[in-house]
Structure 1
């Protein structure tokens, strides 16, 4: 990162490869604010101003490509998405630009992250290998993952691999504090209905 541009030498990685087993339909394509859930997340990511954005797809990848506006992003398809989020990170690592200091990890089903908190995380993570967002009710995404962790990230397994890195970081863990609840993500139909209700779109 440089003093001139806090996002220089930084990329965004958006995880949108899940098979939506609990939901029963591709959550990336759920209607939200006039488009889809993934469209809303990517619109938020674009507002952040990252010079590079990588999106990891997996479940329903062809349908997502045909429906969602993926312009300006490098798309990686994780063929083994059923093995968990860690496999999507490993699949996306080669698509990240060379020379970056690290990347911000965001969830494709979490559209209401505040870009100001993303900027705050990147600023707090200066020189750190791992940083998280500390909300009122706990730790949540986005995360910052620095270059020193890239080799480790390539070998993680399962859905909670990055969380295990957070747990093991100890005093090396940097936290950006956001005085709001953890932004809702969508794993179940109830989650989706609650997200719609929070934004006046209950159906």
Structure 2
């Protein structure tokens, strides 16, 4: 079974006011931590979607082992990044795992559990103690729908559309923090300092 990892990191960080991909985290840019996790997942292909601040990111972030896909329409929402990435997925891939570039607290073991439990399903999602969250699994039969997504939260709308079987994979603990605001970033650093990251 071939699996492609897709890291969404094209956001313009409008709510933060600075490129969140480059915020310091564990001695490196935030995106580097997410990509380090992605490399430990054993994906057959690893894609990272860049858009906002792409020129800075490629010079400051360790992108080794990842294929960069550029999303010129990043300002229209994450749907555009998913569309861009789907076009670059290996034709041999049975599915993709969608990861958020600003969510470094996702563990490689969680990704492997998700793929193991959901690989026969169209869609898989993690069910944390606090609710649903990334990473997501999308089997190949969803690719046409993913390629037509528009706007923000588009992937959630597809998830809740009723068009596909959805497998929820239990994961203990809270939904990992994703960084959209400065308060999110402070919470991430506080959780990390307290051993929760």
Q: 1:50, CA displacement in angstroms?
A: 1.2
Number of the residue aligned with 2:96: 103
Q: 1:169, CA displacement in angstroms?
A: 3.2
Pick from 144, 150, 153 the counterpart of residue 151 of structure 1. Answer: 144
Equivalenced residue count is: 194
Deviations 1:75-111 (A, max 9, x none): 0110010010010010111211111111000000000
Is the aligned partner of 1:80 residue 2:73?
yes
Which consecutive segments of 4 or more residues in structure 1 shift more than 2 A?
Answer: none
Number of the residue aligned with 1:59: 52
Is the aligned partner of 1:135 residue 2:132?
no
Q: Which runs of 5+ in 1 are unaligned?
A: 2-8
Q: TM-score, normalised by structure 2?
A: 0.95
Q: Distance in 1 between matches of 2:65 and 2:36?
A: 11
Q: Distance in 2 between matches of 1:23 and 1:70?
A: 23
Q: Distance in 2 between matches of 1:127 and 1:171?
A: 12
Q: TM-score, normalised by structure 1?
A: 0.93
Pick from 57, 62, 66 the counterpart of residue 69 of structure 1. Answer: 62
Q: 1:171, CA displacement in angstroms?
A: 7.6
Number of the residue aligned with 1:4: none
Number of the residue aligned with 1:184: 177
Two-structure CA RMSD over aligned residues (Å): 1.2
